[in-house]
């Protein structure tokens, strides 16, 4: 046998040993590749779980910030409501004062009208008295006679 045959035989034997090893360890290799796939799947699942946990933490942080903002907005609403109630109270007070002053004004107008009627009546009576007024004491033309005038 020459060298080429020895090499071919040696390669054949090594190949046969490799084929026998493949047949003998086929299940173990299959289980190993399955366990590698499962390990990779668990690693991916762990990464996804960590990502979900991070997202949940961010979400909780945002929600707590929103709760703070909501509380602040409620406080602002309460303050604005109190200001509106105070303003409404002031408006009601001013409205009552205006109504009271309007009533007083109407009362004063009635009183002025009454006084004007009294003044007009007095002027009428004064004119009537002037028509019969005589400065001469003992005048026979005086109407009514001195001391006899009585208002109607």
Checking if the pLDDT of 17 tops 70, the result is: no
**CA gap 78, 64 in Å, rounded:** 21
Average pLDDT of span 122-130 = 79
User: Rounded to an integer, what is the distance from CA 134 to the centroid of its chain?
Assistant: 86
* Tokens found for residue 24: 């003998």
pLDDT of residue 119: 93
Closest CA to 128 of 147, 112, 105, 152: 152
| Backbone φ/ψ region at 114: left (φ over 0), alpha (ψ -120 to 50), beta | alpha
Residue written as tokens 């779980």?
49
| Backbone φ/ψ region at 144: left (φ over 0), alpha (ψ -120 to 50), beta | beta
Query: Residues 54-72: pLDDT tens digits?
Result: 888 888 888 888 888 889 9
| Backbone φ/ψ region at 138: left (φ over 0), alpha (ψ -120 to 50), beta | left
Query: Residues 74-111: pLDDT tens digits?
Result: 999 999 999 999 999 999 999 999 999 999 999 999 99
Kindly report the pTM of this predicted structure: 0.41
**CA gap 67, 89 in Å, rounded:** 33
């Amino acid at each position: 046998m020459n060298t080429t045959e020895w090499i071919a035989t040696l390669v054949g034997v090594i190949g046969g040993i490799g084929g026998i090893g493949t047949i003998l360890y086929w299940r173990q290799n299959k289980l190993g590749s399955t366990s590698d796939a499962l390990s990779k799947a668990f690693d991916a699942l762990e990464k996804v779980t960590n990502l979900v946990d991070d997202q949940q933490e961010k979400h909780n942080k945002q929600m707590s910030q929103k709760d703070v903002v909501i509380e602040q907005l409620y406080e602002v609403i309460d303050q604005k409501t109190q200001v509106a109630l105070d303003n409404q109270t002031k408006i009601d007070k001013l409205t009552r004062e205006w109504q009271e002053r309007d009533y007083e004004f109407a009362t004063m107008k009635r009183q002025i009208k009454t006084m004007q009627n009294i003044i007009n009546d007095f002027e009428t009576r004064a004119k009537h008295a002037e028509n019969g007024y005589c400065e001469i004491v003992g005048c026979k033309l005086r109407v009514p006679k001195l001391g006899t005038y009585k208002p109607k």
